[in-house]
């Protein structure tokens, strides 16, 4: 388990905290692998009835660590980030998110796979893939327009515009906007309530709501192909070099 992923149990709820606060909880390969391990453990343990995921230090996550991209990794089935996305899609245990601060890139796209999402009013959700000369991932090109409609999806995915927690609640991505000092407690209360329901009834209802995961996995594969091409394009190289230069100033 990565040192930047903290897990604990509160009754029937597995609590997962992204704990790389100095980097706004940007996700590394090791962190993705630890999240996969935690998901597999939860699905294999009948005593775990729900998972709560949150971020340490006032942020959910700044998304994928840019260093992974700059390292020239291929966005294919061996990449921990893509393995995480695929595992998230087939997760059987109900997943609840508590979102404060930045939720960037996969920090937002993973929320479309969560069963319940709670956020602070000033949370910042953004999918700036196009800004980085990249394309959507985690089946967001399918799930975002389904959830918010094609026009709003164009704002979020093509313009790369951010939403705060209030707007995310308005468009149906967030269940409730919660005060910062109550966020984790409120999300845990909801997770505990869900965990107390009859297990099989919850599991069946969840499967009916989510539908066939094969459709999502197919879209994830298509996105991955396009993401990999974009990642190794001259356009993306230019954007990343500008990002590096800005960071050195």
pLDDT at 105: 97
Q: What is the span of the domain harbouring residue 53?
A: 5-181
CA distance 7 to 80: 19
d(CA 60, CA 165): 12
How many structural domains are present in the chain?
1
Cα–Cα separations (whole angstroms), residue 93 to 60, 162, 229: 20, 29, 33
138 falls within a domain: yes
246, part of any domain: no
pLDDT at residue number 245: 75
**Looking at residue 35, which CATH number applies to its domain?**
3.90.226.10
- The residue ranking higher by pLDDT, 202 or 69, is 202
Task: Look at the chain and count its residues.
Answer: 249
Q: What is the mean pLDDT of residues 3-27?
A: 97
Position 77 confidence tier, pLDDT thresholds 50, 70, 90: confident
Domain membership of residue 197 (yes or no) is: no
Instruction: Give tens-digit pLDDT for 223-239.
Output: 999 999 998 899 988 98
| 233 domain-assigned | no
Question: How buried is residue 212: exposed, middle or buried, by Cβ count under 10 Å (0-12/13-18/19+)?
Answer: exposed
Q: Residue 173: inside a domain, yes or no?
A: yes
Mean pLDDT over residues 166-184, rounded? 98
Residue 214 inside a domain? The answer is: no
Residue 109 domain flag: yes
Cβ-Cβ contacts under 8 Å for 22 (sequence gap 6 or more):
57
Lowest mean pLDDT among 15-19, 77-81, 206-210: 77-81
Query: 140 burial class (0-12, 13-18, 19+ CB within 10 angstroms)?
Result: buried
Q: Examine the pLDDT at 112 and tell me if it is beyond 60.
A: yes
pLDDT score recorded for residue 185: 98
- Which of 246 and 43 is assigned the larger pLDDT? 43
**pLDDT for 113-130, tens place per residue?**
999 999 999 999 999 999
Q: What is the largest CA-CA distance in the chain?
A: 56
Mean pLDDT, the chain, as a whole number?
94
Say whether pLDDT at 189 is over 60: yes
pLDDT of residue 92: 97
- pLDDT, position 70: 67
pLDDT of residue 99 exceeding 90, the answer is yes
Instruction: State percent of the chain over pLDDT 90.
Output: 87
Partners of 164 in beta bridges: 124
Instruction: Report pLDDT for 19.
Output: 98
Residue 73 binned pLDDT confidence (cut-offs 50, 70, 90): low
Does residue 247 sit within a domain?
A: no
Closest C-alpha among 186, 163, 185, 161 to residue 175: 186
């Amino acid at each position: 388990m990565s040192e930047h992923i903290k897990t604990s149990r509160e009754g029937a709820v597995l609590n997962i905290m992204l704990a790389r606060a100095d980097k706004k909880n940007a996700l590394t390969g090791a962190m993705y692998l630890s999240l996969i391990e935690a998901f597999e453990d939860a699905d294999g343990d009948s005593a775990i009835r729900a998972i709560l995921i949150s971020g340490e230090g006032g942020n959910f996550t700044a998304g994928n660590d840019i260093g992974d991209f700059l390292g020239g990794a291929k966005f294919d089935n061996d990449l921990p980030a893509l393995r995480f996305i695929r595992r998230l899609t087939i997760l059987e245990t109900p997943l609840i998110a508590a979102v404060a601060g930045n939720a960037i890139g996969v920090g937002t796209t993973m929320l479309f796979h969560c069963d319940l999402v709670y956020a602070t009013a000033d949370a910042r959700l953004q999918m700036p893939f196009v800004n980085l000369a990249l394309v959507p991932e985690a089946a967001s090109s399918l799930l975002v327009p389904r959830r918010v409609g094609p026009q709003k999806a164009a704002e979020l995915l093509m313009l790369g515009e951010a939403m705060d927690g209030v707007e995310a609640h308005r468009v149906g991505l967030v269940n409730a906007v919660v005060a910062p000092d109550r966020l984790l407690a409120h999300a845990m209360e909801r997770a505990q309530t869900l965990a107390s329901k009859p297990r099989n009834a919850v599991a069946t209802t969840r499967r009916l709501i989510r539908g066939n995961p094969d459709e999502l996995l197919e879209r994830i594969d298509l996105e991955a192909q396009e993401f990999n091409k974009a990642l190794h394009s001259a356009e993306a190289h230019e954007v990343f070099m500008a990002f590096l230069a800005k960071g050195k100033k």
